[in-house]
Structure 1
Amino acid sequence: MHLLAARQDELDAGPQAEDLGQTPADLVMLSFSDSDLTALAAAWRAGRERLPGLRLANLNRLGHPLSVDLYADTVVAKAKLVVLRLLGGSGYWRYGLDRLSALCRERGIPLAVLSGEAQPDPNLTAYGTVPPATADRLWRYFTEGGPANMGHLLACATTLAGTPLPHEDPAPVPRFGAYDGWTGPAAARVAAPIAAGAPVAAIVFYRSHLLAGDLAPVHALCDALAARGLAPRPLFVASLKEPDCAAWMRASLTAQNAAIVVNTTAFSAAREDGSPLEANGSPVLQAILATTPKAGWQASSRG
């Protein structure tokens, strides 16, 4: 059977046999969710000096049995830990689930099979080879989300793979707060440090970006504003429609005396008493975080 070097993304196309072209690594993590994979990739980059190799794959690309067999034999069979996170239960990836479960049991490879839903699924857990309590711990790292939990998840996974690393229990991420992951301007982009007393530029973004580790746009905005003599203050909220989030945003913008607000949330925050983004009476600029590749926007009249 012919193997495709890259998937043909047609709306009506069924699963196609595909070689992902990955080499083996100690850690292998598979999910239907791009958010899971993005968060794991960001956490691995942040801790790459102490972490083993990691391979990530979206299960949508392993829909054909031949693709599963090839990936199992070339990547999974040589792993020291495999984490599989499934949406919708066992029926949505039955062949792959059976194949990986049998392979990991045969080779003595720790396998954690986790629910991709908000509730754990004991039926999925039973396919794995790690203790249920260990699977539950890994599942909670995913459901809580955020860079810190993803970092601890990888440290926990590395420990399970045979190299102990310190890690903490999964912890909830607040519904709103100041993001402290941007520690200062990138030297290559900003010629001088931010001056004391520089005007504050608040950058408002969704908590979902924090949970997914999808923070490169926020960092880029911070760098660009710092290069222009402003002091960036990235702030995240679950939704400005939530009273607690809105009240915190008003108080934060006022306390920091924000000179300008760059808002990346997609919906209106207007209320009867005005928008919380206008609390300090400063200009509010709307920034759009595109979800499509840059080339597509450049080629489209809509872009």
Structure 2
Amino acid sequence: MPDKLIVASALEAALVLSGLVLLWCFFLSPSARARASQPMPLPYWDIPGYVFGLTIVRLFGVAFIIQLLAASLLKKYAPDVPLDKGFGLLLSGFALQLGLLLGLGVSWVLLKSNRFQAQLNVAINPAAVQLPEPLPLSRIPFAGIATFLIMIALIAPIALLWPVLLEQFGHTPKPQEVVELFTAADSTAQLLSMMLFATIIAPITEELIFRFGIFRYLRGRVPRSVVFILPALMFAAAHQSLTAGLPLFVFGLIQAVAYERTGRIAVPMIAHGLFNLHTALFLMTGTDPYSALINRLAP
């Protein structure tokens, strides 16, 4: 085993161990379980269903228009660049994320102007129930790092066992398109663009949609099992990768818990960015201990 892979494996083991300690401290210890029964700092969303539906339509409508514009510009000024791989696929991904962010911005302005904004739902949160304050701003970075470490600890065994299980059912594990883009990057500019996309743009956009939007809207309207499972399933399905499906589903569950317990969407955003950075560093350095171990155990 190459030296750099040994170092990467040791560092990953340290991350997993740290995550397990935090998991005990914040979720499994008796005091943590007692705190979990108390009200959460995240208020319910008192936004009408038709307004939320129109917001979703507006969001993806703007994203679709931006993607069409990007494809048109690429076809006009770089007709030889394919849209389904390499730089063309990267540009398409940027256009989608930019469109989603613009759609979110437009939707938020319209919601604010119509007074349909996040507030306590008095039918669910009676005035007599005093919600705790959200996590102080100064503690948000630490909560994001803690969420990332817990995520690594919980997803690590799944990352090892899920591909093996898929192979047992005749499915050959295939990396996500973004993973293939990282490994195929042939310039510093393309690599830096991918890092920006994976560690900043995508975490902000996806957390706003799946946690701040869908998860937040469902809370108080459907059973809690559905509140957590449905957005996580949608998040996993949006990545269109069966190989990463179960890890991404667990990822979505952890992010929802972090958002609900802290009341700060910035916490899952930071954890998301760190997780993507963690994966990107493995890809860039060729030191993924999970793939190495799976290959060694394969018959």
Shared fold (TM-score, shorter chain, > 0.5):
no
TM-score by length of 2: 0.19
Q: Which has the higher strand share?
A: 1
More helix by share: 2
Taking structure 1 as the reference length, the TM-score comes to 0.18
Higher relative contact order (CA 8 A, sep 6+): 2
> Which one has the largest radius of gyration?
1
